[in-house]
């Protein structure tokens, strides 16, 4: 095992878990209000990022603000416009596709979101094309932050290792490189999550959404218009998806495969518990962490080099292995309510 890379992979993993948590939150939001598990969330992510790219591009806002100095303004406006687009998209989806499905069996609703995911994917390609896009880089990548740890990498190291941020690299000590772009997108993701949390705790609208989630009929009885709540939750989910899409696209470029990112968020949701907002956050970060840690085995791995390589290549299945374990041991997830019928 590459033990000296442990802090590296753990930190990178948790940081990449930030956007996963944000995406998971969008899923939880919709599930909480309307008990729909949204398989089209990935495409909402994609459309949000694509719309941002398009508004930013020379054919839209680029015409108005061509100068390089106006980069920040142009980008901010593009993001705002993309957020508005995604709100509209969320409302449309809810009204046109899911409202008619009220009262239908679970299978039909699952299939509806799957069908939506396909239709939206096609729509995205038709509107924005299938080629890769250069997404505006929001967090300028300069040198990564360097952290040294009070551990020695090998016995031969002569210097005494200390914990230091950004300090000089001491030979033989364990050094961790912290990617700035990851760090900042993590910060933004977590800020969004906290904002939403506050929204649910302290605003009237947020409270009525929680009430609806708890019990549709009671909520209706106290005068909450639950149709409006459904619509609102889809609109918010659309916005969250757009922010998630932007964060991922700015770190690693934009193309159609962006929608696949959401496949790592599904297990995060179940790991946290379908209806729990803190669960979604913890689930997302944990999935990120585990995805980081599987990269540890090197050729000295106890099962041999070939197995080590297989484990290192298991990033994309890690969430699902965790998922299977969770389902067998604790189906309601870490923070979920014990609502599942035992059968």
Partner 1 sequence: MTVRWMRLSLVFTLLLVGLIACGSPAVEPTPTSAPAPTQAPAPTEAPAPTEAPAAPTEAPAPTEAPPDPSTLSIVEIAAADDRFETLVAAISAAGLADALSGGEFTVFAPTDDAFDALPAGTVDSLLADPAGALTDVLQYHVVEGAVLSGDASALSFAPTLLADRNISIDARDNGLFLNGEAMVIAADIQAANGVIHVIDHVLVPRTLTFYHFGDLSGPLAGVTAPLITGFNDAVAAANAGRGVYGATIDLEFTDTQSSVDAAVAAYDRYTSESDDILVMFTYGSGDGEALMSRFREDRIPNLAAGLSSVAFYGPESGYTFGYAPIYPEQFGLFLDYIVANWDAVKPEGAGDEIKLAYISWPTAYGQGALTPESRAYAEQLGVEIVAEELFDPTPTADTTTAILNAQAAGANVIYTNTLAFGPASILNGLGVLGLRGQFLVGANNWAMDVATYAFLSDPALAAGMISPFPYLWWTDVDNPGIQYVSQVFAEFERPIELQAVGYLLTFGGVDLAIMAIEDAVDAVGFDNLDGQAVFEALTKMSETSVLDGLFFVDFTDGSRSPHIAQIRQIQGGPDAFVVLQDFAATPDLVPAETFDLGQ
Partner 2 sequence: MAIMRPAGDFDRSYEQDMAVVRQRWQLGLLLVFLAALYTLPLYASGTLVSLVNRIGIFIIAVQGLNILTGYTGQISLGQAAFMTVGGYASALLMAELGWSFFLALPAAGLIAGFVGLLFGLPSLRVKGFYLVMATLAAQFIIPWFARNAYRDLLNGAQGINVAVPFFRLPVVANTCFLGTTFEAATGSCLYRFSTPSQFIFITLTVLIITTVAQANLSRTRFGRALVSVRDNDLAAELLGINLFRYKLRAFFLAAVYAGIAGSLLAHNLRFINSETVNLADSVLMLGMLVVGGLGTRLGPIFGTAFVLLVEEMVTTLTPILIDWFPGIEGTATAALRPLIFGLALVLFLIFEPRGLAHRWTLIKAAWRLRPFAH
Sheet holding 145-152, edge to edge: 164-165, 145-152, 173-178
Between CA 255 and CA 253 the distance in angstroms is 7
Contact call for residue 327 and partner 2 (CB under 8 A): yes
Between CA 94 and CA 14 the distance in angstroms is 33
Of 12, 43, 124, 276, the one binding partner 1 (CB under 8 A) is 12
Burial class (CB in 10 A: 0-12, 13-18, 19+), 320: middle
Contact call for residue 220 and partner 2 (CB under 8 A): no
> Among 137, 249, 187, which residue's Cα sits nearest to residue 22?
187
Beta carbon nearer to partner 1, 220 or 309? 309
By a kind-dependent CB cut-off of 5 to 8 A, residue 295 interacts, out of partner 2, partner 1, none, with: partner 1
By a kind-dependent CB cut-off of 5 to 8 A, residue 9 interacts, out of partner 1, partner 2, none, with: partner 1
Between CA 230 and CA 234 the distance in angstroms is 6
Contact call for residue 126 and partner 2 (CB under 8 A): yes
What is the residue whose two structure tokens read 């913890």? 282
Site for partner 2 in 234-273 (CB under 8 A): 263, 266-267, 270
Contact call for residue 290 and partner 1 (CB under 8 A): no
Contact call for residue 101 and partner 2 (CB under 8 A): yes
Min dist. Cβ of residue 110 to partner 1 (A): 25
**CB of 44 closer than 8 Å to CB of 242:** yes
Min dist. Cβ of residue 307 to partner 2 (A): 9
Of 69, 328, 338, 339, the one binding partner 2 (CB under 8 A) is 328
Contact call for residue 340 and partner 2 (CB under 8 A): yes
Supply the DSSP symbol for 94.
I
Site for partner 1 in 256-275 (CB under 8 A): 256-258
Of 236, 295, 322, 326, the one binding partner 1 (CB under 8 A) is 295
Min dist. Cβ of residue 253 to partner 1 (A): 5
Between CA 146 and CA 164 the distance in angstroms is 8
Contact call for residue 114 and partner 2 (CB under 8 A): yes
**Coil/strand/helix, residue 173:** strand
Burial class (CB in 10 A: 0-12, 13-18, 19+), 153: middle
By a kind-dependent CB cut-off of 5 to 8 A, residue 121 interacts, out of partner 2, partner 1, none, with: partner 2
Q: At what angle are helices 277-293 and 180-202 packed, to 10 degrees?
A: 160
Contact call for residue 118 and partner 1 (CB under 8 A): no
Tally of CA atoms within 13 A in the half-sphere of 198 that contains its CB: 6
Pairing of strands 173-178, 145-152: antiparallel
Of 60, 77, 92, 125, the one binding partner 2 (CB under 8 A) is 125
Strand partners, 148: 164, 175
What is the residue whose two structure tokens read 């694509």? 50
Beta carbon nearer to partner 2, 40 or 224? 40
Of 76, 80, 106, 191, the one binding partner 2 (CB under 8 A) is 106
Residue 76 neighbours by CB under 8 Å, 6+ apart: none
Contact call for residue 155 and partner 1 (CB under 8 A): no
> Among 34, 15, 53, 35, which residue's Cα sits nearest to residue 132?
53
Question: Can you give the binding site for partner 2, defined by CB under 8 A?
Answer: 37, 97, 100-101, 104, 106-108, 110-112, 114-123, 125-126, 129-130, 263, 266-267, 270, 274, 306, 309-310, 313-314, 316-317, 320-321, 323-324, 327-328, 331, 340-343
Question: Can you give the binding site for partner 1, defined by CB under 8 A?
Answer: 2, 4-5, 8-9, 12, 16, 125, 130-132, 134, 137, 141, 143-144, 177, 179, 181, 248-249, 252-258, 292, 295, 298-299, 309, 312-313, 315-316
């Amino acid at each position: 095992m590459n033990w000296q890379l442990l802090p590296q992979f753990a930190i990178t993993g948790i940081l990449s878990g930030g956007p996963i948590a944000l995406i998971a939150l969008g899923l939880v939001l919709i599930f909480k209000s309307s008990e729909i598990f949204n398989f089209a969330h990935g495409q909402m992510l994609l459309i949000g990022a694509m719309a941002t790219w398009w508004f930013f591009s020379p054919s839209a806002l680029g015409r108005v603000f061509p100068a390089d100095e106006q980069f920040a303004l142009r980008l901010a406006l593009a993001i705002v416009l993309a957020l508005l687009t995604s709100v509209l998209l969320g409302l449309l989806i809810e009204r046109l596709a899911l409202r008619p499905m009220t009262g239908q069996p679970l299978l039909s609703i699952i299939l509806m979101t799957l069908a939506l995911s396909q239709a939206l994917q096609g729509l995205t390609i038709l509107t924005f094309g299938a080629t890769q896009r250069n997404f505006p880089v929001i967090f300028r990548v300069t040198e990564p932050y360097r952290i040294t740890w009070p551990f020695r990498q090998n016995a031969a190291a002569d210097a005494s290792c200390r914990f230091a941020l950004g300090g000089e690299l001491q030979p033989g000590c364990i050094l961790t490189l912290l990617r700035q772009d990851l760090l900042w997108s993590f910060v933004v993701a977590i800020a969004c999550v906290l904002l939403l949390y506050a929204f649910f705790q302290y605003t009237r609208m947020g409270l009525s959404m929680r009430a609806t989630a708890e019990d549709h009929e009671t909520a209706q009885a106290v005068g909450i218009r639950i149709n409006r709540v459904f619509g609102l939750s889809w609109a918010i989910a659309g916005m969250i998806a757009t922010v998630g899409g932007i964060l991922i696209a700015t770190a690693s470029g934009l193309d159609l495969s962006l929608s696949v990112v959401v496949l790592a968020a599904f297990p995060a949701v179940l790991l946290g518990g379908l209806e729990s907002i803190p669960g979604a956050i913890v689930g997302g970060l944990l999935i990120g962490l585990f995805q980081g840690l599987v990269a540890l085995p090197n050729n000295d791995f106890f099962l041999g080099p070939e197995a080590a390589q297989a484990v290192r290549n298991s990033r994309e299945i890690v969430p699902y292995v965790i998922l299977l374990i969770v389902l067998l041991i604790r189906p309601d997830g870490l923070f979920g309510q014990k609502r599942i019928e035992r059968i």
